[in-house]
Amino acid sequence: MVRVDGYEVREGLHYSKDHMWVKVEGGKARIGVTDYAQKQLGELVFAELPSAGEKIVEGKPLGSLESMKAVSDLVSPLSGTVEEVNEAVRSSPDMLNADPYGEGWLIVVSPDNLEEDLKNLMSGEVVVRWHKDLIEGG
């Protein structure tokens, strides 16, 4: 784990510029929101998530999060079919504030073309530099 100005960036994950993370697990992809995103949104009060069996498309909204200050689209970091949904997040969206990389994951997807989609995501030092630039830029 790396901290960038108080924001946690987990190693071993792939990140989108829309503040989503992807963890590859045996050909499937677990997706969630970054620590930066949940802190920027503030206390989350509602999570709209897709249902199992739905198709998601890279770069298109897969759902949304609502906080006390804003509603934000969750932009899909890859394309595929939703296999599993974290129902606990629907009933307690504040789980995302407490543990965005653990218990606060959103969905598990069977990707259409995982290797191609991963080429569009950041990992390692690239995402750390991007976070630093983002924070310094305001």
User: What confidence tens digit (pLDDT) does each residue in 94-109 have?
Assistant: 999 999 999 999 999 9
pLDDT confidence of residue 32: 98
Cα gap 69→89, rounded to integer Å: 19
Residue 49 pLDDT greater than 70, yes or no: yes
Angle value at C-alpha 36, between 76 and 32, nearest 5 degrees:
35
Q: Give the number of C-alpha atoms closer than 13 A to the C-alpha of residue 27, restricted to the C-beta side.
A: 3
Q: Per-domain residue ranges for the chain?
A: 2-137
Determine the residue type at 1: M
pLDDT over 70, % of the chain: 97
CATH no. of 2-137: 2.40.50.100
Task: Give the other-Cβ count within 10 Å of 43's Cβ.
Answer: 12
pLDDT confidence of residue 58: 96
Residue 128 pLDDT greater than 90, yes or no: no
Give residue 4's pLDDT band: very low, low, confident or very high (50, 70, 90).
Answer: low
Q: Does an H or E element contain 133, and which? A: helix 124-137
pLDDT confidence of residue 31: 98
Mean pLDDT of the chain: 92
Q: Stretch 55-60: mean pLDDT, rounded?
A: 97
Helix-strand-coil percent breakdown of the chain, rounded to 5?
Answer: 25, 35, 40
* Closest-CA residue to 75 (of 33, 13, 45): 33
